[in-house]
Amino acid sequence: MIKLDISKGRVEDIRTALYPVRGLFHLLHHPGKYAGPILVSILKVIATSTVTIIPLLRYGYGPQQNLLNKIYQHMLEPKTSASFASTVATATAAVLCSVEVATLTIQLGLYFVGSIQDRLFDSILRERGRLPSSENTAGISEKVGGPAHNTDDLRDHAFLSPRSVAIVAAQLEDSWSSFLLRPTIFILTLPLNIVPVIGPATFIGIQALFRTGEAHKRYFNLYHWSKAQIHRRIDARFWQYYRFGLMATVLEMIPFAGYVFMYTNQMGAAMWAMDLHEQKLLEPKND
């Protein structure tokens, strides 16, 4: 029985990480329904991001490469040759600029394009017959998420710890706090990319915490979950949410293809929420 539970848990973990990919397949299966709105929104993102990305690539790459070259020469010489240090600096500067471009694109897509992601999420719920109306949400959040206002069972987490960031990202509304939190952490963690291999991986892992919390943010809003209920849900299933968030973040940072994944990841998140519904994990049990 224990082995069966462990195997079932591993399968569930793999399925959770693959939901962003399932979102892409859903788009490919229904291109007529989704391709038009997504294409229009992508064009808006490209037009908006060009204003910042072109200057970044033109004026940001060179200074970053020169700075990294000096740092690596100091760190690696005389153990290695100057040409090796220069090669590492060039590669790191390219990775750093790619990360900066991807992050800027994601930020601009989130804040300046519109609510297309929410509409895609709602569309998946509508397909599955789960888009709630105002009169049928009152009891669901209480039965599924626990007490709406009782915080006695909630665990405290250190400020800016992984769970804390994910919970805050899921709870925050569209406010200045939400607008500033991600860019602030981005700026503070950007120097990690100076460290080859490990640095970029760590940086992406930290940025994924926001996607972790945002995975079912639309679901929580539609069903009127309280902050206490959201805290309880994200805390209890943190690693499942993090696997989804990490996969989604990596896909969104792929050059050019990331534009599409910004939207299909939202569709995958909605499909995950609905699968949990059907498993009776996010909907009330019938008495």
Domain assignment of residue 80, yes or no: yes
pLDDT at 153: 86
Helix and strand numbers (H, E) in the chain are 12, 0
Where does the pLDDT of residue 241 fall: very low under 50, low under 70, confident under 90, or very high at 90 and above?
very high
Cβ burial, residue 93 (10 Å; 0-12/13-18/19+)? buried
Q: Number of structural domains, the chain?
A: 2
pLDDT at 8: 56
Tokens of 90: 């060039």
Is the domain of 139 the same as that of 107? no
Domain assignment of residue 9, yes or no: no
Is the domain of 151 the same as that of 203? yes
Identity of residue 125: L
pLDDT at 206: 94
H/E stretch holding 215 reads none
Taking a C-beta distance cutoff of 8 angstroms, is the pair 246, 208 a contact? yes
Domain assignment of residue 10, yes or no: no
Is the domain of 173 the same as that of 262? yes
pLDDT at 136: 64
- pLDDT(127) > 60: yes
Is the domain of 217 the same as that of 102? no
Is the domain of 215 the same as that of 243? yes
The domain of 194 spans: 131-279
- pLDDT(4) > 90: no
Query: Which of 33-42, 111-120, 133-142, 167-176 shows the lowest per-residue confidence on average (mean pLDDT)?
Result: 133-142
Task: Calculate mean pLDDT across residues 254-276.
Answer: 89
Domain assignment of residue 126, yes or no: no
pLDDT at 284: 47
Is the domain of 108 the same as that of 135? no
- pLDDT(1) > 80: no
Is the domain of 49 the same as that of 98? yes
DSSP letter at 287?
Answer: -
Is the domain of 37 the same as that of 157? no
Of residues 138, 141, 144, 145, the one with CA closest to residue 231: 145
Is the domain of 39 the same as that of 104? yes
Is the domain of 161 the same as that of 40? no
Of the residues 82, 114, 146, the one at which a domain ends: 114
Of the residues 114, 148, 183, the one at which a domain ends: 114
Of these ranges, 74-78, 105-109, 166-170, 265-269, the one predicted with the greatest mean pLDDT is: 265-269
- Interior CA angle at 97 toward 23 and 24, to 5°? 10
Is the domain of 139 the same as that of 243? yes
Query: Which of 116-120, 220-224, 254-258, 272-276 shows the lowest per-residue confidence on average (mean pLDDT)?
Result: 254-258
Domain assignment of residue 76, yes or no: yes
Give CA separation, 272 vs 210, 239, 257, in Å. 17, 14, 22
Domain assignment of residue 3, yes or no: no
Q: To which residue do tokens 């220069």 refer?
A: 86
pLDDT at 114: 56
Of the residues 67, 88, 114, the one at which a domain ends: 114
Q: How many alpha carbons lie under 13 Å from residue 146 in its C-beta half-sphere?
A: 16
Q: Please, what is the average pLDDT of the chain? A: 81
Give per-residue pLDDT as tens, 161-175.
999 999 999 987 655
Domain assignment of residue 268, yes or no: yes
Cβ burial, residue 132 (10 Å; 0-12/13-18/19+)? middle
Give CA separation, 9 vs 15, 209, 271, in Å. 10, 21, 19
* CA dihedral for 137, 139, 140, 144, sign (positive or negative): positive
Domain assignment of residue 172, yes or no: yes
Is the domain of 155 the same as that of 214? yes
Of residues 182, 186, 183, 180, the one with CA closest to residue 203: 186
* % of the chain with per-residue pLDDT over 70: 84
